[in-house]
Amino acid sequence: MSRSSRLLALLQALRRRRHPVTAAVLAREFEVSERTIYRDLAELATQGAPIQGEAGIGYVLRPGLFLPPLMLTEDETDAVLLGLRYVDQRGDEALTQSAENARAKIMAVLSPDMRDVASAPLTIPGPDGKTFPQNAVPLSTLRSAIRMQRKLAVDYGDGQGHRTHRVLWPIQLGFMDEARVVASWCEMRSAFRFFRTDRILSAVLGDRYPRRRSDLVCEFQAQIAAEQASAKTRDDGDASG
Domain definitions of the chain by residue range? 3-61, 74-119, 139-229
**pLDDT per position in the chain (241 positions), as tens?**
667 778 888 888 888 887 899 999 999 999 999 999 999 999 888 888 888 888 888 999 887 655 554 567 778 888 888 899 888 888 888 888 888 888 887 887 777 777 777 777 777 777 665 678 889 999 999 999 999 999 999 999 988 889 999 999 999 999 887 889 999 999 999 999 999 999 999 999 999 999 999 999 999 999 999 989 888 887 777 666 5
Q: What is the pLDDT of residue 240?
A: 62
Compute and round to an integer the Cα radius of gyration of the chain. 23
Interior angle at CA 81, CA 76 and CA 83, nearest 5: 100
Which residues sit opposite 202 in a β-bridge? 155
Instruction: Please tell us whether the domain made up of 3-61 is placed in CATH 1.10.10.10.
Output: yes
**What's the distance, CA 110 to chain centroid?**
23
Q: What is the pLDDT of residue 138?
A: 93
Nearest CA among 204, 158, 198, 150 for reference residue 174: 198
Distance CA 220, CA 226 (A): 10
Q: What's the burial of 145, exposed, middle or buried (CB within 10 Å: 0-12/13-18/19+)?
A: buried
